[in-house]
Amino acid sequence: MMGKLIWLMGPSGSGKDSLLAELRLREQTQLLVAHRYITRDASAGSENHIALSEREFFYPRGAKPAGLKLAR
């Protein structure tokens, strides 16, 4: 059986974590949640996430920007 990839995105406080928590409680759901990579400081809030700079987030593993400028 082929799995499905679902991107759950939304602004801070929109209920993403609540939705994931509810899905985890369902017996029939075989849910695997990927690590969360965000451009917030590692000490920000209680979220389980991996903090990255904007450059690391948008250009992972040494990828070079193609004429785009990052906000500072």
User: Is residue 72 predicted with pLDDT exceeding 60?
Assistant: no
Give the per-residue pLDDT at 14.
Answer: 92
pLDDT tens digits, one per residue of 30-54: 778 887 888 876 666 666 778 888 8
Euclidean distance between CA atoms 46 and 48, whole angstroms: 6
Among the listed residues 26, 24, 52, the one whose alpha carbon sits nearest the alpha carbon of residue 39: 52
User: Is residue 20 predicted with pLDDT exceeding 80?
Assistant: yes
Give the per-residue pLDDT at 66.
Answer: 65
